[in-house]
Amino acid sequence: MATKNTGVQKYKYYKVEGDKVERLKKVCPKCGAGVFMAEHLNRYSCGKCGYTEWKKNK
């Protein structure tokens, strides 16, 4: 039996301190503000447009 999709938990993408809001995830440079990139082991990728940035090796 399939489970119902609960949606995105957007409160995990921001941190509020006083009257300032900080984004915790990287924003896609092609799509603009409001579209966050997924963080994988070796890259960041946008689920909307497919843009990929590779992480630097340490």
pLDDT tens for each residue of 7-52: 878 888 899 999 999 999 999 999 998 899 999 999 999 999 999 9
Q: Is 28 annotated as a binding residue?
A: yes
Q: Report the predicted TM-score, pTM, of the whole model to 2 decimal places.
A: 0.70
Best CA proximity match to 37, nearest among 52, 22, 55: 52
47 with 54: CB under 8 angstroms?
A: no
Helix-strand-coil percent breakdown of the chain, rounded to 5? 5, 35, 60
- Is 25 annotated as a binding-site member? no
Copy the structure tokens of residue 25: 């995830």
- 55, 45 Cβ separation under 8 angstroms: no
Q: Residue 16 has what pLDDT?
A: 94
Mean pLDDT of 49-57: 92
34 is in an annotated binding site: no
Beta-carbon count within 10 A of 36 CB: 20
Residue 3 pLDDT > 80, yes or no?
A: no
- 46 a known binding residue? yes
